[in-house]
């Protein structure tokens, strides 16, 4: 889709509010919601997706950025879940080869005999569940000596382990995946609207009327649809209340990650290790390394999620058990926190979140209104398929099309575009490393980003304060990827705000200026955007001085106003 999205937005709102009744309205712009919009559009249904914030602004933009079966679920005997996730891991590698990368994980061993056999047996089962025909070049597990482990991961302490097992899993930029799903859904005919909040749902005469409010204009309008799908992750209980009491109850678990420069932890492979209450990941991701994660109940209600100083200290301590030179807060350029949307198993459990299933449920919670909840990023496509199939049962479905064979935006011609990256770099006058980074974000569409440089060469220069972001990317994400704010660009379309110590505050004025010109916004809007971004960075700094989630309440209120 090459149309100018800012210019189309008002027309899209007019069309969904005054045009024919939709077949399906999807509420929620995470991976499952965007996947559902794509699934429904591919079947030829009239579908719209509305999101109160930005695409991937919640759970789907704050994960460990992994596509994996979940080794730890083997101990819980959830073999079906693991097999399904491993299948989806390989499938997505085919559908979006520019987004999915194979990543080797090192599992360090601290006992010489029994542990190697125990973990090795589990990984052999993991390999078997993936199947002989596993896509994506994911290799079977390997045994490493201590010397081989230290060669693979030089930052590790020599005495930290007696050896390791190595296995492959997948890596994906979660937010970019969601944006790509939304772009693909639009390509297939879906309407996608961000910054549109649903404030009411009313079922009448065989359809549901959704009262909506546009955060940009303040305009209120109604969307009518034969079916409604709630894909609102950890806030599913809240949105279910729009149509009655929650039939599916949720439990939110907070996961926190630290962002560390790659030169501080020069690793090509990832580390995975057990902790007393979660799993430790040390994951290289482009120019940074992610250190996570926590797994603690979150009870601060809907809205933004913040880490605490206690969360950070926990992760620094856990990582320090393995590293030659322990990390300190001075090594951390960014911190982010998100929520896992866990389906509450019901009364009688111990209130902990670590053992709650990641399987998903689909349920009709009111006449014509369905909720999809639970699950994990890796299985978003299955969740979307199951939810749409349940929601549209009884409707006329024009096409029997599966998203299992539908390449995502940027995948068409990617192999050829990647092979020509050297020539593209010469023509654009940029280093080939820049073209490779663009290809990893936009796939074959990187050429459209570079094309802006032919009109204005300054757009191919890095944004001041964000060296990994070109001005052309700001314009492109606004015109083609639904970016409407500075945070949309720095926090999700790129990860530039996490890779610099000021959270992107220095880059915000330049990004705001480019966005204002592209979106047709006034200078006062620019100033508000910059002020809001700086305020959010200050709130994050204050949150890292707290000792518990209970101390976050005033900061969460400030963050809501800054958003």
Distance CA 441, CA 112 (A): 42
Distance CA 193, CA 202 (A): 20
Question: 258: part of which helix (H) or strand (E)?
Answer: strand 250-261
Q: What is the pLDDT of residues 228-281, one digit of tens each?
A: 999 999 999 999 999 987 889 999 999 999 999 999 999 999 999 998 878 999
Distance CA 303, CA 434 (A): 35
Q: What is the DSSP letter of 490?
A: I
Q: Which of these, 20, 424, 63, 491, lies nearest to 225 by C-alpha position?
A: 20
Q: What is the pLDDT of residues 395-407, one digit of tens each?
A: 999 999 999 999 9
Q: Which of these, 420, 536, 411, lies nearest to 93 by C-alpha position?
A: 411
- Strand duo 101-109 + 270-274: pairing: parallel
- Residue 106 pairs in a beta bridge with 166, 271
Q: Which of these, 386, 364, 388, lies nearest to 375 by C-alpha position?
A: 386
The Cβ of residue 403 has, within 10 Å, a number of other Cβ atoms equal to: 26
Give the mean model confidence (pLDDT) for residues 35-55: 98
- Residue 224 pairs in a beta bridge with 209
Distances (CA, A) of 56 to 34, 181, 309, 473, 530: 9, 11, 25, 18, 21
What count of residues does the chain have?
A: 563
- Coil/strand/helix, residue 81: helix
Q: Which of these, 191, 183, 178, lies nearest to 48 by C-alpha position?
A: 191
Residue 135's pLDDT band, with cuts at 50, 70 and 90, is low
Domain coordinates in residue numbering, the chain = 5-59+176-249+355-405, 251-343, 414-562
349: pLDDT strictly greater than 70: no
Extract long-range pairs of 213-219: CB within 8 Å, 24+ residues apart. Answer: 214/13, 215/52, 216/9, 216/484, 219/13
Question: 122: part of which helix (H) or strand (E)?
Answer: helix 114-130
- Coil/strand/helix, residue 522: coil
- Coil/strand/helix, residue 167: strand
Main-chain phi, psi angles of 212, to 5 degrees:
-125, 155
Predicted pLDDT of residue 344 = 86
CATH of 5-59+176-249+355-405, one of 3.40.640.10, 3.50.50.60, 1.20.1250.20, 3.40.50.880: 3.50.50.60
Q: Supply the pTM of this predicted model.
A: 0.95
Residue 352's pLDDT band, with cuts at 50, 70 and 90, is very low
Q: Where are the alpha helices (DSSP H) in 165-231?
A: 174-187
Distance CA 279, CA 71 (A): 11
346: pLDDT strictly greater than 90: no
Angle at 444 between CA 49 and CA 514, to 5 degrees: 65
Q: What is the DSSP letter of 429?
A: T
- Residue 462 pairs in a beta bridge with 470
The Cβ of residue 553 has, within 10 Å, a number of other Cβ atoms equal to: 10
Question: 120: part of which helix (H) or strand (E)?
Answer: helix 114-130
Q: Which of these, 168, 80, 66, lies nearest to 127 by C-alpha position?
A: 168
Q: Which of these, 6, 26, 428, 30, lies nearest to 217 by C-alpha position?
A: 6
Q: Where are the alpha helices (DSSP H) in 192-330?
A: 236-240, 309-320
Share of the chain above pLDDT 90, in %: 86
413: pLDDT strictly greater than 80: yes
206: pLDDT strictly greater than 90: no
Q: What is the pLDDT of residues 510-560, one digit of tens each?
A: 999 999 999 999 999 999 999 999 999 999 999 999 999 999 999 999 888
17: pLDDT strictly greater than 70: yes
Predicted pLDDT of residue 50 = 98
Residue with tokens 């979106």: 519
2: pLDDT strictly greater than 50: no
Predicted pLDDT of residue 92 = 96
**Fold of the domain built from segment(s) 251-343:** D-Amino Acid Oxidase; Chain A, domain 2 (3.30.9)
Q: State the average pLDDT for the chain.
A: 93
């Amino acid at each position: 889709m090459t149309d100018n999205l800012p210019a189309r937005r008002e027309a899209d709102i007019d069309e969904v509010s005054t045009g024919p009744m939709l077949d399906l309205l999807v509420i929620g712009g995470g991976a499952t919601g965007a996947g559902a919009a794509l699934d429904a559009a591919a079947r030829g249904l009239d579908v719209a997706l509305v999101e109160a914030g930005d695409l991937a602004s919640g759970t789907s933009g704050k994960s460990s950025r992994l596509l994996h079966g979940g080794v730890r679920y083997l101990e819980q005997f959830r073999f079906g879940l693991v097999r399904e996730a491993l299948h989806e891991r390989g499938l997505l590698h085919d559908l979006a080869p520019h987004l999915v990368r194979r990543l080797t994980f090192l599992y360090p061993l601290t006992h010489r005999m029994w542990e190697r056999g125990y973990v090795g047996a589990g990984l052999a089962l993991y390999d078997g569940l993936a199947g002989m025909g596993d896509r994506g070049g994911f290799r079977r597990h390997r045994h490493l000596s201590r010397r081989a482990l230290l060669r693979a991961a030089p930052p590790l302490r020599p005495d930290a382990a007696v050896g390791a097992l190595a296995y492959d899993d997948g890596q994906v930029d979660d937010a970019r995946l969601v944006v790509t799903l939304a772009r693909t859904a639009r390509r297939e005919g879906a309407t996608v609207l961000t910054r549109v909040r649903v404030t009411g749902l009313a079922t009448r005469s065989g359809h549901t009327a959704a009262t909506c409010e546009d955060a940009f204009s303040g305009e209120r309008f109604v969307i009518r649809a034969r079916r409604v799908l709630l894909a609102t992750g950890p806030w599913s209980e809240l949105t279910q209340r729009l149509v009655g009491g929650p039939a599916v109850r949720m439990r939110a678990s907070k996961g926190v990650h630290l962002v560390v420069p790659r030169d501080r932890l020069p690793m090509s492979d990832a580390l995975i290790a057990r902790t007393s209450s979660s799993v430790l990941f040390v994951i290289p991701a482009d120019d940074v390394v992610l250190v996570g994660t926590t797994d603690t109940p979150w009870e601060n209600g809907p809205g933004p999620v913040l880490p605490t100083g206690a969360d950070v200290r926990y992760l620094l301590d856990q990582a320090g058990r393995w590293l030659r030179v322990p990390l300190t807060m001075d090594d951390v350029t960014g911190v982010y926190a998100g929520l896992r949307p866990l389906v509450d198993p019901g009364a009688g459990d111990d209130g902990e979140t670590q053992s709650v299933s990641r399987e998903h449920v689909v349920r009709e919670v009111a006449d014509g209104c369905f909720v999809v909840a639970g699950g994990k990023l890796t299985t978003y496509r299955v969740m979307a398929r199951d939810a749409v199939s349940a929601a549209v049962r009884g409707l006329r479905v024009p096409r029997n099309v599966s998203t299992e064979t539908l390449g995502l935006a940027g995948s068409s011609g990617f192999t050829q575009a990647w092979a020509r990256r050297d020539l593209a770099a010469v023509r654009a006058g940029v280093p080939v490393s820049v073209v490779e980074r663009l290809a990893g974000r936009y796939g074959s569409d990187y050429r459209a980003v570079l094309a802006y440089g032919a009109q204005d060469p300054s757009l191919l220069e890095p944004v001041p304060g964000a060296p990994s972001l070109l001005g052309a990317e700001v314009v492109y994400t606004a015109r083609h990827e639904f970016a409407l704010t500075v945070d949309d660009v720095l926090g999700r379309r790129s990860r530039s705000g996490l890779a610099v110590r000021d959270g992107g505050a220095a880059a915000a004025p330049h990004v705001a200026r480019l966005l204002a010109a592209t979106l047709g916004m006034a200078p006062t809007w620019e100033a508000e955007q910059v002020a809001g971004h700086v305020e959010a960075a200050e709130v994050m700094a204050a949150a890292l001085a707290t000792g518990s989630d209970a101390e976050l309440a005033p900061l969460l209120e400030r963050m809501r106003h800054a958003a």
